[in-house]
Amino acid sequence: MSSSPARTDDPRTDEEQTHLDLVYARLDRMRATTGKRLAATLRESGGTPQAQSERESYERMYVDELTKFDAAEHNLYFGRLDMLDGETRRIGRIGILDDDDADTTLLLDWRAPLSRAFYLATPAAPEEVARRRHIRTRHRSVQVVNDELLTADDASAEDVGHGDVVNESALVAALNTARTGEMTDIVETIQREQDLIIRSTHRGVTVIQGGPGTGKTAVALHRAAYLLYTHREILSRSGILIIGPNSDFLDYIGQVLPSLGESGVLLATIGELFPDVHARADEPRATREVKGRLAMLDVLKRAVRARESLPRTAIPVNFEGYAVEIDSELIKAARGKARSSRRAHNQAQSVFLRSALHALAARHAAAIGSSLLDGSQMLSSSDIADIHADMSRDTDIRATLLDFWPTLTPQDVLRELLADKAALRKCTPGWSDEDRAALHRSPAEDASDLTPADVPLLDELAELIGYGTAEAQAREKEQWRRQLAEAQDALDILTGSAPQDLEDELDPEILMAYDLIDAEQLAARQTQTSRATTAERAYGDRTWTFGHVIVDEAQELSAMAWRMVMRRIPNRWMTIIGDTAQTGDLAGTTSWSEVLTPYVANRWQLRELTVNYRTPAEIMTYAARVLRRVDPGATAPTSLRKNGIEPVAIRAEPSRLAATILEAATALELTGLTGIVVPDAIHPMIAQALANIGEAHDKVTEAPGTDTDASGQVANPRPRLHTVTTCKGLEFDTTIVVEPAELIDQSPRGFSDLYVALTRSTQRLIVIHSRDLPAELADMPTA
């Protein structure tokens, strides 16, 4: 294999540099033109609300374009195909046409159909490609050119690739690059099996199952970018939602889509999917497991029904000097009507109230209007209607009735249910005391401390209660009313501050604010101005339905979480990504079919990824043994590379675990990003110990984030401390796994947890233990 440094004696470098200059010159012209257009739009003002709204959409479009151009700046042009018929295709991060008369294509977007052969062609299936060229650039200058000749009989092929692996040298270079703690895009080296998923045309549910490091997350993100490119019209309006396991993970992947020029995607954890709720609190595994069970649905239904209660004894209320009684019989009849309306609780309240008032008015009429002679009703129907109307205006009567059918919020119902042992017992008939105890939370706990597992329960309650629909509309109406009032004020002020001489004798030639716009139009303009991106609007609206949903680490979702996710995507166009061997959450799944059958029967397709791009073979040898303990029939993904670094095990005194971690880090002169994965129970202790020792060494941090040196450059990042739950989906150059025997013991899914921990590494694995190593790791070389 050969590569060409940037020098002028390689004609390929010169040729590509010439093209690169052309492409960047055009990008600069596009940037300048869009910048000018944006400036001109920003200078404009006034006009009809429609003109204003058009201006805003142009503004947004120009800003989006500029963002896209900026995102494309780095490694803009990276690939070239010379086809058998002589055609040359140049592939880059975005498509660029020249501004000549012929609109010559200078660069094809990597997502365009014509670019596809760049990712698919192999010597065995060359896809009409004679030569694939990989161009590595830096700061607008060509650094390296690699050619792959795909015609099988060509003896001068430099980089023929192995089997299905394409762009192998570029791929290995990418995989060996030190990690920064932020995921990068892989447009230059997408592999065949990955490309087939990224560009899948399937419009239903696609499950991508693959072992650790097979690029599932990378594929998911590139699929989002591809779908936005191919179905921009629909998806830019309805949006794409990507669900990830925790906020560290979302931070880790957060830059990938912007680097691909896409910003309209909503990234969220399950705990963030309910507007205005930030569920970050932790809770025991057993509690998470119980909250994730489908049986919670009945519990919540019962909790809501329990709020539709009956009076124990008749309640006397005063109505126009008469005593009327609200008793169980009356409430029960109204409750029956409301329930049989089949509306959600809050929406059925009007049925309940109408029916109860009707019965109460009838009773009262009977009491005061019956003839003493024969008991017949002497009041006319309009008299009775008057009583009904008066009663419905009577605040005491309304309040007393509504005690038995109150307006509910999901937060209140859930908080009160979990804090009240008696209510819990009533709502969980047949449950074990242990499961009930797992659900109970002390009323003293901070009510705002919701956990991620609470969020699907809130969402379910919102459905049962009808919250976030009527309420959201009412809120919207209220907001509109306020906006209207503000607009009116603004207009009044404008008119009021007109020069006095105009006030006295209005010059008909001078247009006043009122002549240009009325309050309603002004309010509408304010709405336009505050119009957020699709992702922002979707985030604030529980009832938003997306065009496409991608769930990453999907094996961790509970049955209740799936219900919530499915409500966000009625068209069921989804990409579900995960590895059932890595399931750590006790409420998570080990069977895709079990999860999906209730929603799409068997109408879903499974795609598999088989190559591990992250973990070197030396580490996978041990991880594969652990996998066999998770599932004896499972096959570990094949590592793409060996790196010659054997994992090592270091024995420590139980009291010196933290000290040994630091000693190992120092002695081995670790470079790049280091992740330390510890069992849950000792996490606080290790964190504290590392903080104490680390203060002197300034070495370990719990929080993610990169460190910068004095010049503002990213320096060797400090090691990060994790539990298995928080390291899901992340990767480090070096992983230090602490006390594997404890990781196994801490959960019924302990072997899955250990499997996850062992496979985070891109280069080196160190195991530190005070207990004996599990048999699977027992022969690891010691240090």
Ligand X SMILES: Nc1ncnc2c1ncn2[C@@H]1O[C@H](COP(=O)(O)OP(=O)(O)OP(=O)(O)O)[C@@H](O)[C@H]1O
| Annotation: binding site for ATP | 210-217
Among residues 16 and 188, whose Cβ is nearest to ligand X? 188
> In the set 79, 92, 126, 210, which binds ligand X (CB under 6 A)?
210
Q: Contact region for ligand X (CB under 6 A) — 214-222, 282-290, 505-513, 711-719?
A: 214-222
The angle subtended at Cα 315 by Cα 312 and Cα 321, nearest 5°, is 170
Q: Contact region for ligand X (CB under 6 A) — 213-221, 291-299, 303-311, 322-330?
A: 213-221
For residue 677, list its beta bridge partners.
Answer: 722, 737
- Please, what is the minimum distance in Å from the beta carbon of residue 173 to ligand X? 9
Q: Contact region for ligand X (CB under 6 A) — 167-175, 335-343, 395-403, 428-436?
A: 167-175
- Please, what is the minimum distance in Å from the beta carbon of residue 78 to ligand X? 12
Instruction: Indicate whether 95 belongs to the interface with ligand X (CB under 6 A).
Output: no
- Binding-site members are 210-217
What is the pairing mode between strands 604-609 and 205-210? parallel
CA 681 to chain centre: 28
- Please, what is the minimum distance in Å from the beta carbon of residue 245 to ligand X? 9
Among residues 222 and 364, whose Cβ is nearest to ligand X? 222
What's the N-to-C CA distance of the chain in angstroms?
Answer: 36
Among residues 171 and 387, whose Cβ is nearest to ligand X? 171
Element (H, E) at 584: none
- Please, what is the minimum distance in Å from the beta carbon of residue 252 to ligand X? 9
Instruction: Indicate whether 119 belongs to the interface with ligand X (CB under 6 A).
Output: no
Render the burial of 88-124: b for 16+ CB within 10 Å, e for the rest: ebbbbbbbbebeeeeeeebbbbbbeeebbbbbbbbbe
- Please, what is the minimum distance in Å from the beta carbon of residue 579 to ligand X? 5
d(CA 523, CA 257): 34
Q: What are the backbone dihedrals phi and psi of residue 90, each rounded to the nearest 5 degrees, phi first?
A: -110, 130
For residue 642, list its beta bridge partners.
Answer: none
d(CA 560, CA 570): 16
Strand order of the β-sheet with 674-677 is 648-651, 761-769, 732-738, 674-677, 720-722
- Please, what is the minimum distance in Å from the beta carbon of residue 208 to ligand X? 9
Instruction: Indicate whether 90 belongs to the interface with ligand X (CB under 6 A).
Output: no
- Please, what is the minimum distance in Å from the beta carbon of residue 195 to ligand X? 9
Q: Which residue has the CB atom at the shortest distance from ligand X?
A: 215
d(CA 369, CA 388): 14
Here's the x/- map for ligand X, 711-730, by CB under 6 A: it reads as: ------------------x-
Instruction: Indicate whether 195 belongs to the interface with ligand X (CB under 6 A).
Output: no
d(CA 610, CA 621): 15
d(CA 239, CA 216): 21
Q: Contact region for ligand X (CB under 6 A) — 41-49, 186-194, 222-230, 539-547?
A: 186-194
Measured CA to CA in angstroms, residue 666 lies from 85, 88, 661, 736 at distances of 58, 52, 9, 13
- Please, what is the minimum distance in Å from the beta carbon of residue 255 to ligand X? 12
Q: Taking phi first (over 0 means left), then psi (-120 to 50 degrees means alpha), and beta for anything else, what does residue 97 get?
A: beta
Taking the CA atoms of 445, 451, 455 and 457 in sequence, report the sign of the dihedral they define.
negative
- Please, what is the minimum distance in Å from the beta carbon of residue 177 to ligand X? 9
> In the set 79, 95, 126, 212, which binds ligand X (CB under 6 A)?
212
Q: What are the backbone dihedrals phi and psi of residue 280, each rounded to the nearest 5 degrees, phi first?
A: -120, -10
Among residues 731 and 776, whose Cβ is nearest to ligand X? 731
Q: Contact region for ligand X (CB under 6 A) — 83-91, 190-198, 521-529, 535-543?
A: 190-198
Here's the x/- map for ligand X, 217-256, by CB under 6 A: it reads as: xx--------------------------------------
Alpha helices by DSSP H, 631-719: 657-667, 683-697
> In the set 17, 34, 169, 194, which binds ligand X (CB under 6 A)?
194
- Please, what is the minimum distance in Å from the beta carbon of residue 734 to ligand X? 14
Measured CA to CA in angstroms, residue 274 lies from 247, 541, 545 at distances of 15, 8, 13
Here's the x/- map for ligand X, 743-762, by CB under 6 A: it reads as: ----------------x---
Site for ligand X in 612-651 (CB under 6 A): 613-614
Instruction: Indicate whether 186 belongs to the interface with ligand X (CB under 6 A).
Output: yes
Q: Contact region for ligand X (CB under 6 A) — 58-66, 169-177, 302-310, 324-332?
A: 169-177
Q: Contact region for ligand X (CB under 6 A) — 62-70, 183-191, 651-659, 680-688?
A: 183-191
List the structure tokens of 132. Answer: 């694939």
Measured CA to CA in angstroms, residue 716 lies from 185, 273, 314, 600 at distances of 21, 35, 74, 47
Instruction: Indicate whether 588 belongs to the interface with ligand X (CB under 6 A).
Output: no
Instruction: Indicate whether 584 belongs to the interface with ligand X (CB under 6 A).
Output: no
Helix-helix angle 11-43:49-72, to 10 degrees: 160
Instruction: Indicate whether 190 belongs to the interface with ligand X (CB under 6 A).
Output: yes
Among residues 299 and 677, whose Cβ is nearest to ligand X? 677
Q: Contact region for ligand X (CB under 6 A) — 51-59, 66-74, 211-219, 227-235?
A: 211-219
Cβ-based neighbours of 44, under 8 Å, separated by 6 or more = 55
Taking the CA atoms of 447, 448, 451 and 453 in sequence, report the sign of the dihedral they define.
positive
Instruction: Indicate whether 763 belongs to the interface with ligand X (CB under 6 A).
Output: no
> In the set 91, 171, 225, 677, which binds ligand X (CB under 6 A)?
171
Residue type, 704: P
Q: Contact region for ligand X (CB under 6 A) — 49-57, 184-192, 295-303, 475-483?
A: 184-192
List the structure tokens of 122. Answer: 């192999």
Among residues 95 and 211, whose Cβ is nearest to ligand X? 211
- Please, what is the minimum distance in Å from the beta carbon of residue 129 to ligand X? 18
Instruction: Indicate whether 345 belongs to the interface with ligand X (CB under 6 A).
Output: no
Candidates 78, 38, 55, 138; CA nearest to 529 is: 55
- Please, what is the minimum distance in Å from the beta carbon of residue 756 to ligand X? 7
Site for ligand X in 661-690 (CB under 6 A): none
d(CA 65, CA 342): 49
- Please, what is the minimum distance in Å from the beta carbon of residue 733 to ligand X? 11
C-alpha dihedral (15, 18, 23, 29), degrees to nearest 10: -170
> In the set 289, 579, 618, 753, which binds ligand X (CB under 6 A)?
579
DSSP letters of 309-351?
---SS-EEEEETTEEEEE-HHHHHHHHHHHHHTT--HHHHHHH
Candidates 67, 76, 71; CA nearest to 20 is: 76
- Please, what is the minimum distance in Å from the beta carbon of residue 540 to ligand X? 29
> What is the total count of residues that contact ligand X (CB under 6 A)?
24
Write out the residues near ligand X by the rule CB under 6 A: 171, 174-175, 183, 186, 189-191, 194, 210, 212-218, 579, 582, 613-614, 729, 731, 759
